[in-house]
Chains A and B, each alone.
Chain A
Amino acid sequence: MEEKSKEEILAERKQRKAAKQLKKKSSNKVVNESHVKDKIKGNLEENLDKMKISQCDNDALKTSNESMSVNPDLMTHFLDNDKKFNFSSNNTSFNNETSSNISISNKECGSGIGNGINTFMESVSDNIKTKSQLKSERRAKQEAQRALKTQKKLDEKNVEQFETSKIKVNKLKTKFTHKIPKTVDVHKVLLFSHLYRNSSIEENNILTNINTEIHKAVLKLGVQYKNKVIIGSNARVVALLNTLKQVIADYRTPTEKDFSRGFEKVLGDVMTYLNNCRPVSVSMTNAIKFLKWHLSQLPNNISDREAQIKLREAIDDYIKEQINMAGKAICIMVQKKISQDDVILTFGYSSLIERILIESFQVGIKFRVIIVDAAPLYEGKELLRRLVKSGLNCVYVLLSAVSYIMKEADKVLLGAHALLTNGYVMSRAGSSQIALIARSYNVPVLVCCETHKFSERVQTDAFVHNELGNPEELMKADLWKSNNNLTPLTLMYEVTPSNLVTAVVTELAILPCTSVPVVLRVKPTSSTLS
């Protein structure tokens, strides 16, 4: 028995060596699962039958060498229940994708098997105990415990990795089966995918995650923008400036801060909030630019009161000069262009156009108006109501009838959202169609636009920068939400090329579209602002 025990020690050492070698080796042969299982099973059964231990050890080592890809799960199972030796094929699931994970654990596998056998041997040679044996036993025990610990850790990792890889595989599978990668975006037009704002999440965010520091008036304004209660670039900028006046009045500079610095931050928050409600218009951006410039001009040690008065004056001046007076100047200029018995065609609703038409009528020019309107906003109805109320002779048609009615028109008057540096006109969707048809009928197209709506942006199409309207304005949700093949698209704006526009009427002069950059350069405010 003593000899045997020596043999055992030798065997143990061999095992350790082999295990170390195995650790170093990282070759990962994928062996047939059942083959490995059978071998291990067979070996262990032999052990149970108290066959030659050393032989068994060697065999076990062999198997461990051969079976590089034994599942670590299986191994722990084997280690934990070394007397039961239950092998369930369920635990050993091999997957090509997970082979890399397994190969990492294989380094440990060899030693695992070795240790497992050690513990097994303990149980076998329980009654025979020499000093050396005891020592070796203890050592073996310790090692076994260590091995167990590391094994467990690794197992956890492996399981995780395995699971993630599984998900990856699933994803890959789905990629191959469905051509569209994101099944969520069924109701998005790919060409305009950059314009979508994840509305459902944001809607909640806007209302729930409201920064409490934002002024109540601004919150209200945001909702009004969002629900299109306040619509049209002039109305929006006036509303914004009036709201900001309130914000300024209620603003108190925190201690250890300048008025301008502190308020600029508030202004930034306000604008991000409003932008979340609805993308800001060019007129609004220009107004904010103007306000920021005034902020920067304020001296550092200015008192709140003085600063408030100064800013309020600046805002009032802006509204008066850039919007009201500019509108008046444009009215006078267009009046000269409207001759007796003219037929003026206009599209949608523009506050400026309304003012021009009503004032020209009141001056005593006799003319007729054709209002062209389009889905989904039908803004022309409002213009129609107001003009008829003022006593003008109006005709109301939809965009589809414009080529029929264009023959009658003498002039086309259009409002604008913004005038771009390349001379293109950004306005409500449908305007460029009007301009195109007017061009083909040789009817002069006048775009009326105050210079505060001039933008330094350049755009040649309506794809790059645009705003998406609410698709439910176009079509009821239950008509398309359930139907994956139907996607409504409402674009708010459109870009009209400059060659379709005869002239732009601004408060400075009547200009060709191409002169926009010159106006931007000459205009004193814009040069100082930029």
Chain B
Amino acid sequence: MEKIGERYSLLSYIREYFCKILHEEKDLSPGIAAIKTLLYVLENDKSETVQELDSNFQTTIDIMRNTDVPVTSVASGCELFLRFITFAKLDYKTFDECKKVMFHRGKIFMKKLTNARGKIAKLASTFITDNSRILVHSKSRLVLKAMEHAVSLHKHFRVFVTYSSLDNSGKEMADELKNIGVPCTVILDSAVGYIMEQVDMVMVGAEGVAESGGIINQIGSFTMAICAKEMKKPFYVLTESFKFTRLYPLNQRDLPNEFKYTSGHLRKDLSKEHPLVDYTPPSFITLLFTDLGILTPSAVSDELIKLYL
């Protein structure tokens, strides 16, 4: 009885812990927060078999998916994390030994992830040239970081940010860009077509990268990608590799509902709700900047096959 109670108390704390991380570190992607939470569970878990640990992980993931954060990166991050640490499962005799190895691997994984941003920023900033004009959609930490890096290299460029009326995150992005000294204009979401002819490239982040090489991102990205393709402007995506997910959407309708709506919305009548994300097919994407290097969309599935098969 006591043991069950203990487990219950740990799991009940998870939600709190997860939200606390997200609240305290605004700079953190929900995916990384989820991985941090899993690592915390692994550290404090008292289970004695691999199966028990697995089920604890599963409940943790379910709890995190049910919070009101965008679920895409949480799902992919957790999946990849489990994949990474559980490679060791069968190689060790005692469970304690195994758990130790798993924790160690988890730490390595975390470290890799935190280094990823710097690497991507470096890769992407070489594509930002002097006097270029860049269109950005809503707020992306990676895009911001890449631009910061470009500024540190004394590059002068101009940025257009969409207002992103879903959560007005474009305004936040513009403020942060002004702070680092980048001239910046906030435009309406409906002005994407108008502004497209003036810009040199489009840079967006991603909540998730599908196996097709397409991306799942805040709604409006697809519109931007279509406009960019029509006007022959390069469409660049900045994303960490933990956002790669084993999902192959055929079109918008095929995208799972839990990705499109928050858990709060899912309980309501979906026909009256507005989706939060859209899917941009690979044919609209020029390049993806990831910590694995600069990839074409088709290379994403190659990387995923290497990871999962």
Contacts and interface: CB of A to CB of B under 8 A. Distances in A.
B298 A515 contact: yes
Contacts of A411: 250
B212 interface: yes
Contact of A502 (B250, B297, B308, B309): B250
Interface stretch (A19-27, A374-382, A504-512): A504-512
A354 B253 CA distance: 25
Given A512-B282, A512-B298, A512-B301, A446 B250 contact: yes
B108 interface: no
A519 interface: yes
Interface in B236-260: 246, 248, 250-251, 253-254
Interface string A413-455: 0000000000000000000000000000000101000000000
Contact of A518 (B254, B283, B297, B305): B305
A244 interface: no
Interface in A474-530: 499, 502-503, 508-512, 514-515, 518-519, 522
Chain A interface mostly helix, strand, loop or mixed?
mixed
A333 B253 CA distance: 17
B212 A508 contact: no
A518 B253 contact: no
Best-surrounded residue of A337, A339, A502, A503 (most CB of chain B within 10 A): A502
A339 B248 contact: no
B250 A522 contact: no
A389 B158 CA distance: 65
B250 A509 contact: no
Given A514-B298, A514-B301, A508 B253 contact: no
Interface residues of A, number: 18
Contact of B305 (A339, A444, A446, A511): A511
B205 interface: no
A509 B309 contact: yes
Contacts of A522: 305-306, 309
Interface in B277-309: 282-283, 297-298, 301-302, 304-306, 308-309
A273 B301 CA distance: 41
A503 B250 CA distance: 8
B189 interface: no
Best-surrounded residue of B212, B254, B301 (most CB of chain A within 10 A): B301
Contact of A509 (B254, B282, B283, B308): B308
A337 B305 contact: no
Contacts of B211: 509-512
B213 interface: yes
Interface residues of B, number: 20
A406 to B, nearest CB: 15
Contact of B302 (A444, A446, A502, A518): A518
Best-surrounded residue of B246, B302, B304 (most CB of chain A within 10 A): B302
A75 B308 CA distance: 92
Nearest to A513: B298
Contacts of A339: 253-254
Contacts of B306: 518, 522
Contact of B250 (A444, A508, A514, A515): A444
Contacts of A509: 211, 246, 248, 301, 304-305, 308-309
Contacts of B301: 509, 511-512, 514-515, 518
Contact of A510 (B248, B251, B308): B248
Contacts of B250: 337, 411, 444, 446, 502-503
A337 B248 CA distance: 9
A514 B253 CA distance: 24
Nearest to B304: A509
Contacts of B254: 337, 339, 444
B281 to A, nearest CB: 8
A515 B283 CA distance: 15
B305 A503 contact: no
B286 to A, nearest CB: 16
B141 to A, nearest CB: 28
Best-surrounded residue of B253, B282, B305, B308 (most CB of chain A within 10 A): B305
Interface in A9-64: none
Nearest to A411: B250
A408 to B, nearest CB: 16
A519 B212 contact: no
Contacts of B251: 444
A502 B250 CA distance: 7
Contacts of A499: 283
Nearest to A498: B298
Contacts of A512: 211-213, 282, 297-298, 301
Nearest to A444: B250
Given A411-B250, A509-B305, A509-B308, 19 more contacts: A337-B250, A337-B254, A444-B251, A446-B250, A499-B283, A502-B212, A503-B248, A509-B211, A509-B246, A509-B304, A510-B248, A511-B248, A512-B213, A512-B301, A515-B298, A515-B301, A515-B302, A522-B305, A522-B306
Interface of A: 337, 339, 411, 444, 446, 499, 502-503, 508-512, 514-515, 518-519, 522
17 contacts: A337-B250, A411-B250, A444-B250, A502-B212, A509-B246, A509-B248, A509-B308, A510-B211, A511-B248, A511-B301, A511-B305, A512-B212, A512-B213, A512-B282, A512-B301, A518-B302, A518-B306
Identify the 4 closest CB pairs spanning chains A and B, nearest first. Answer: A514-B298, A510-B248, A444-B250, A515-B301
